[in-house]
Amino acid sequence: MTQRKDAPDQARSAERGTGAKDARKESRKRLGDNLRKMYDEVVSEPVPKEMLDLLSRLSRESGQK
């Protein structure tokens, strides 16, 4: 059986494809981890007093109608 000349090129191409997939997967994982960390930090911040005052005022006004 004879091997085709482009077989080594195909093997290298397949290796690069796998490496690229792994790199994309790792990149998505890092991005997800960073987004979760940022979200957790924002969620743990206190609500500004101005926002609480506004919500309270809106709640009172909607109860009067």
Q: Which residues of 22-48 are buried (b: 16+ CB within 10 A; e: fewer)?
A: eeeeeeeeeeeeeeeeeeeeeeeeeee
pLDDT at 10: 58
Sorted by where each begins, the domain ranges of the chain are: 8-64
Residues 7, 13: Cα–Cα separation, whole Å: 10
What is the full per-residue pLDDT of the chain (65 aa) written as tens digits?
Answer: 555 555 566 555 555 678 899 999 999 999 999 999 999 999 999 999 999 999 999 999 988 75
| Angstrom distance (rounded) from CA 10 to CA 8 | 5
Q: Which amino acid is at 15?
A: E
> The pTM is what?
0.49
